[in-house]
Structure 1
């Protein structure tokens, strides 16, 4: 067999391998997103966290919990890609229901793979003022 015939077989084998890989990829499930849970600090003795927020990537559902009966409402900052510079965010989700109340749930819709970052904290719901030092760390996931 000449060199041209051998090269033709290698090209055919490479094309066949690529086609099989594409068929396997097309039959695979969609990429899963990443859930996120964040906690806001508490300044009241006996409470480990003042607030908590959760992002469920399946369905893009945000849930905010007030974890401490401290007189403050739970609040979560949400920043969705493209991210805002300098600590900016897209929106707040408040839970004014007090620690023994129910969580607040917000449903959104984002494209698969969209980045979502959250930060939990506390604030005064009636005035919309958030505490400047009452925030936990940012944490990110994706839809």
Structure 2
């Protein structure tokens, strides 16, 4: 009986060491929405950050003739309303989402703000709230 107890303790110890050496799953996904000016549309755009793989996906949610856009600010954060990059989805509400894959260290903060605009001219607005997650 004593052999089985020792074997069980050894298996448990090996399992704990394996867990301690595996990467932590500290990421936090985030989804943001852009304001809509068109009656019948809840949002003009939406963007999602998936912490697993650091994938950004931008959706055009309203057929109002504008493109979806998201501003992304990655830690260390920009001051004064700055951001690191923008992702546009000019495919229209019936088109496919735009996906961008990045690579960040685990725990890196990622903030986003969705809006809409004219893709060709770069004019934009209709911004929703900033919301943050982590890689």
Shorter-chain TM band? 0.7 to 0.9
In the alignment, the residues of structure 1 paired with residue 76 and residue 21 of structure 2 have an alpha-carbon distance, to the nearest angstrom, of: 30
* Secondary structure of the corresponding residue to residue 110 of structure 2: strand
Shift of 1:27: 4.4
- More displaced stretch, 47-56 vs 29-38: 29-38
1:52 is aligned to 46
Offset, 1:51: 0.1
Q: What SS does the corresponding residue of 1:137 show, helix, strand or coil?
A: coil
Aligned-residue offset at 1:86: 1.3
Superposition TM-score, scaled by structure 1 size = 0.80
Task: Return 5+ residue gaps in structure 1 as ranges.
Answer: 1-21
User: What is the SS of the residue equivalent to 2:58?
Assistant: strand
Determine which structure has more spread, i.e. the larger CA radius of gyration: 1
- Tell me whether 1:123 sits opposite 2:117 in the alignment: yes
Mind listing any 5+ residue stretches in structure 2 that lack a counterpart? 1-15
Partner of residue 127, structure 2: 135
Greater CA deviation, 74-83 or 31-40? 31-40
Q: CA RMSD in A?
A: 1.5
C-alpha distance in 2 between matches for 1:101 and 1:32: 33
